[in-house]
Amino acid sequence: MESNISNALVLLAIGMITVFLILALVVISGNILIKIVNNYTPKPTKKFSRNYRSATVTAPETLAAIETAVETVTAGHGKVESIQKVEN
């Protein structure tokens, strides 16, 4: 029994230290990763103006809907730069 309790105490120490160590590494590596990704993120070359108005799309809510749809479909990679009416 006594040896089991001392083993349990060892497990408490090792277990908690390991969990803290892993999560500390998660925090550190997360911060490093964010800095690296920030450095390699290309600066936007052409910014889409929210004031842009095409001949056909004028309502701000329509504009917001298009932007949201593009962001969802492209998983955040695509950006709306201009809107043009396609003549059929």
Partner 1 sequence: MEVLNKLYEMTAFGAIGEDPSTLVMLALALFLLYLGIVKRFEPLLLVPIAFGVLLANFPGGNMAVTPSTEIIEHMTILEIAKEHGIMNMLYYMLIKTGLLPPLIFMGVGAMTDFGPMLRNLKLAFFGAAAQIGIFTVLISAVALGFSLKEAAALGIIGGADGPTAIYTAIKLAPNLLGPIAIAAYSYMALVPVIIPLVVKFTVSEKELKINMKEQDKLYPSKVKIKDLNRTKIIFPIVLCAIVSILVPSSVPLVGMLLFGNLIKEIGSDTNRLMVAASETIMNVATIFLGLTVGATMTAATFLDQTTLLIILGGFIAFAISIFGGIMAVKMHNIFSNKKINPLIGATGLSAVPMASRVANDIALKYDDKNHLLQYAMSSNISGVIGSAVAAGVLISFLS
Q: Which DSSP state fits 85?
A: P
Based on CB atoms, which residue is closest to partner 1, 34 or 65? 34
- Kindly identify the residues of this chain, within the stretch 11-30, that bind partner 1 according to CB under 8 A: 11-12, 14-16, 18-27, 29-30
Minimal distance in Å, beta carbon 61 to partner 1?
25
Contact 52, 79 (CB under 8 A): no
Residue 6, amino acid: S
Q: Are 63 and 50 in contact (CB under 8 A)?
A: yes
Among positions 5, 55, 59, 86, the unique one binding partner 1 when judged by CB under 8 A: 5
Stretch that binds partner 1, among 32-40, 45-53, 62-70, 80-88 (CB under 8 A): 32-40
The DSSP string of 4-73 is HHHHHHHHHHHHHHHHHHHHHHHHHHHHHHHHHHHHHSPPPSSPPPTT---SS---HHHHHHHHHHHHHH
Give the interface size with partner 1 as a residue count (CB under 8 A). Answer: 35
- Chain residues in the site for partner 1 (CB under 8 A): 1, 4-5, 7-9, 11-12, 14-16, 18-27, 29-31, 33-35, 37-38, 41, 73-77
